[in-house]
Amino acid sequence: MIQKSEEREKQRIAFVSAVGWAGARITALPVDASARSYYRLSRTSGPEQGAKTEPETRILMDAPPGIAEPVEVFAQVARHLMACGISTPVIYNEDIAQGFLLLEDFGDQTYARLLQTGVDETGLYELAVDVLAAMHSAPEITGITMPPYDLDFLIKEALIMADWYLPAVMGKGLSAEARQAYVNAWKEVIEKPAALPDTLVLRDFHVDNLMILEGRSGVKACGLLDFQTARIGAPPYDLMSLVEDARRDIGTDLREQMIARYFTLMNRDYSSEESRQNFMCWYRILAAQRHAKVAGLFSRLYARDAKAGYLKHLPRVLRLLTEALSDEALEPVRRWLSQYCPDYQREYGRPDSQMIVKAAVQTEKLGLMLE
């Protein structure tokens, strides 16, 4: 591992030198749950007489090939969103084969950091909803080749809860029969409502990935950071992930205000009560699916990746999941949980991580079978 780390560092330094930033100060930025890492490059250039100038900066994305998502996809989506009028970092240099991008530095004013300092949350969320509406209204938004967020993939994600979270609660993995019944329940739920018009779904649209950009106005004042796992799918997903954040409590009133704001901005598409009801049906289905997935992801981060910090968010995620499951449309999944794991909400502390990994490996081998 040390050898690989040292080898990657040499590759990183070589890229920095090749793109004209040799000698720059390199500062590692905080890591998240992904396999990517980020560094801020800083250098001062200006008058030679000692006059103080603001340092020039760039962000280096380091996404090891075969481990992290390909930087090629990030670059593709970033340029497409920018063409649609959305603020994404300018890509100055790239090495697709090695997994490096040199990006515009958006600064440090993430939504998450601003909210911690007491900045008005309503204004921030309104701007984020405005960005979504602008993106979903752009005629060319689906003019990009991305995989579909379809039945197979939605259920595959929902299975992360079955394979990684439920063993922590139950002390064992699911039987093949129970797992197939779980798949069938989700299939019944997802296939029932009428389809919505497709859009580009960013899938990680929340306060940790949004920034305020000084000197820009309108929707361009909001910068987007994380979108390389984007897919073509249903519009409610990103709105839901914004106002049902796995890592931050959001009041019901604010959530309802933001949904109402989205409908107002998108009135051309959701002018009838029927269309809004169908949108909200999908909203709740996708909410349950995402919260199920995230519960599994947080458990996997703990058991497989030794990242226990995400366990503190599980109570919130499970509360949001239970809230979404109360909708009539989710009755098949609710019925399944009642039969196979009625105490799925209980706090399990820090169970045997080896047991969870072993159980998950066994059940994941069963794959996805849609009957």
Looking at residue 34, its pLDDT comes to: 72
Residues 237, 307 within the same domain: yes
39 lies in which domain range? Answer: 2-103
pTM: 0.93
Residue 37, C-beta contacts closer than 8 angstroms, at least 6 positions apart = 28, 29, 31, 62
Q: What is the pLDDT of residues 326-340, one digit of tens each?
A: 999 999 999 999 999
Find out whether 107 and 242 touch, Cβ atoms under 8 Å: no
Q: What is the pLDDT of residues 155-191, one digit of tens each?
A: 999 999 999 999 999 999 999 999 999 999 999 999 9
Crossing angle for the helix pair 273-303 and 176-191, nearest 10 degrees? 150
CA-nearest of 174, 167, 88, 115 to 344 is 167
Give the CATH number, domain containing residue 10.
3.30.200.20
Question: Has residue 231 been placed in a domain?
Answer: yes
Looking at residue 1, its pLDDT comes to: 44
Residue 114: which H helix or E strand, with range?
A: helix 111-116
Residues 205, 307 within the same domain: yes
Residues 270, 346 within the same domain: yes
Question: Has residue 330 been placed in a domain?
Answer: yes
Residues 183, 267 within the same domain: yes
Residues 296, 316 within the same domain: yes
Residue after which a domain boundary falls, among 103, 123, 151 = 103
Residues 132, 81 within the same domain: no
Q: Give the Cα separation of 32 and 341 in Å (integer).
A: 30
Number of domains into which the chain is organized: 2
Query: What would the two tokens of residue 78 be?
Result: 């970033």
Looking at residue 3, its pLDDT comes to: 44
Residue after which a domain boundary falls, among 81, 103, 125 = 103
Residue after which a domain boundary falls, among 56, 84, 103 = 103
